[in-house]
């Protein structure tokens, strides 16, 4: 199997026959998404969608962590025209995308995984939505996608406590398709992608689009309600305090306003 590596500052892509591996590579920031990473993720997913020889993609964070979500120090940049937030979460795709999760997928990182079609994870991986601990809300799809991957009360628990769940629980609920030994998530996701890419591409794409058309029929309302919730906290003192406390590595002192 021949490979071609194309490297950028934040994201690496690797073509493996009909599969595109997209690997986030900002380990010092635990793959927190800044404007550059958003731009590069968008470009990589545009390549997956536009290249007729590519049939499936794998989104990976590498061997240590999937993603800590938004870089709170600099922000994730503007949503892209085709991909929305992070260049990922608002995207409508014809080709399957598998998340390969090691370590943790938190906040926007979890929301990127939720935006994928399948998830493979290491056995000690963690999934969480800690936004409320920073004075913000999950504004990249989790308010309406989390309960599709886990039962409603578990989704509420994730959203309201900010605490994470283990890969074992995620597998039990059906959020994760497969758990593997730590360090093997990317390899296992690529094997799954290779299996998909070996099937008739038009049949795969038609199946995915039909499934998505049904599942995502209420997404417009979900994004509208997310925008309302997000606007409510954007001007709050709690948001300013939450971000400041995170950057200063201390417990926040909430004002409730």
* Of 83, 190, 193, the residue nearest 141 (C-alpha): 83
Run of H or E residues at 22? strand 19-24
pLDDT in tens, 124-148: 999 999 999 999 999 999 999 999 9
Residues linked to residue 80 through DSSP beta bridges, in sequence order: 84
Active site residue 131: yes
Burial class (CB in 10 A: 0-12, 13-18, 19+), 245: middle
Is 59 inside a domain boundary? yes
Tell me which of 40, 102, 111, 186 is the catalytic residue. 111
Q: Judge residue 110's burial from the number of C-beta atoms within 10 Å of its C-beta, 0-12 exposed, 13-18 middle, 19 or more buried.
A: buried
State the pLDDT at residue 214. Answer: 94
Average pLDDT over residues 21-50: 96
Question: How many domains does one find in the chain?
Answer: 1
pLDDT at 210: 96
**pLDDT value for 2:** 39
CB 101, CB 126: distance < 8 Å: no
pLDDT of residue 86: 97
For residue 134, is it within any domain? Answer: yes
Name the burial class of residue 24, with classes exposed (0-12), middle (13-18) and buried (19+) by CB atoms within 10 angstroms of its CB: buried
Residue 210 lies in a domain: yes
Contact indicator for 18, 197 with CB cutoff of 8 Å: yes
Residue 186's alpha-carbon distances to 83, 102, 217, 233, in angstroms, are 23, 8, 30, 36
Q: Examine residue 193 and state whether it is found in any structural domain, yes or no.
A: no
pLDDT at residue 6, rounded to an integer: 46
Label residue 125 left, alpha or beta by phi (over 0 means left) and psi (-120 to 50 means alpha). beta
Measured CA to CA, the distance from residue 204 to residue 181 in angstroms comes to: 28
pLDDT class of 151 with cuts at 50, 70, 90:
very high
Residue 251 is assigned to a structural domain of this protein = no
Q: What does the alpha-carbon distance between residue 96 and residue 48 come to, in Å, rounded to a whole number?
A: 10
Summarize the confidence of residues 170-193 as an average pLDDT.
98
> Is residue 128, in this structure, part of any structural domain at all?
yes
Q: Which domain holds residue 13?
A: 3-183+201-239
Distance of CA 104 to the CA centre of its chain: 11
Residue 12 lies in a domain: yes
Q: Concatenated DSSP letters for 110-157? A: HHHHHHSSEEEEETT-EEE-GGGGGT---TTTHHHHHHHHS-HHHHHH
In a domain, 252, yes or no: no
Q: pLDDT tens digit string along 9-32?
A: 799 999 999 999 999 999 999 999
At residue 55, the 3 state secondary structure works out as coil
CATH code: domain of residue 41:
3.90.226.10
Which residue among 40, 102, 131, 186 is the active-site one? 131
* pLDDT for 249: 85
Residue 163 has pLDDT above 50, yes or no: yes
Mean pLDDT, the chain, integer: 94
């Amino acid at each position: 199997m021949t490979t071609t590596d194309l490297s950028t500052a934040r994201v690496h892509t690797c073509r493996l026959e009909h599969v595109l591996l997209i690997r986030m590579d900002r380990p010092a920031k635990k793959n927190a998404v800044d404007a550059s990473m958003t731009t590069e993720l968008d470009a990589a997913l545009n390549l997956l969608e536009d290249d007729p020889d590519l049939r499936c993609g794998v989104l990976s964070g590498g061997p240590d962590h999937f993603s800590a979500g938004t870089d709170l120090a600099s922000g994730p940049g503007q949503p892209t025209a085709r991909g929305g937030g992070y260049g990922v979460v608002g995207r409508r795709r014809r080709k399957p995308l598998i998340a390969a999760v090691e370590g943790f997928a938190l906040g926007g990182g979890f929301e990127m995984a939720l935006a994928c079609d399948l998830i493979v994870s290491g056995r000690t991986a963690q999934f969480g939505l800690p936004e409320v601990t920073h004075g913000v809300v999950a504004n990249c799809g989790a308010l309406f996608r989390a309960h599709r991957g886990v039962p409603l009360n578990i989704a509420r628990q994730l959203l309201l406590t900010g605490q994470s769940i283990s890969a074992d629980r995620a597998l039990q609920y059906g959020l994760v398709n497969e758990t593997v030994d730590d360090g093997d998530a990317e390899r296992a996701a690529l094997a799954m992608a290779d299996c998909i890419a070996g099937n008739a591409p038009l049949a795969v794409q038609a199946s995915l689009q039909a499934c998505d058309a049904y599942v995502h029929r209420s997404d417009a309302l979900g994004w509208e309600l997310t925008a309302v919730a997000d606007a409510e906290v954007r001007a709050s003192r709690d948001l300013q305090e939450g971000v400041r406390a995170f950057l200063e590595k201390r417990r926040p002192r909430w004002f409730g306003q």
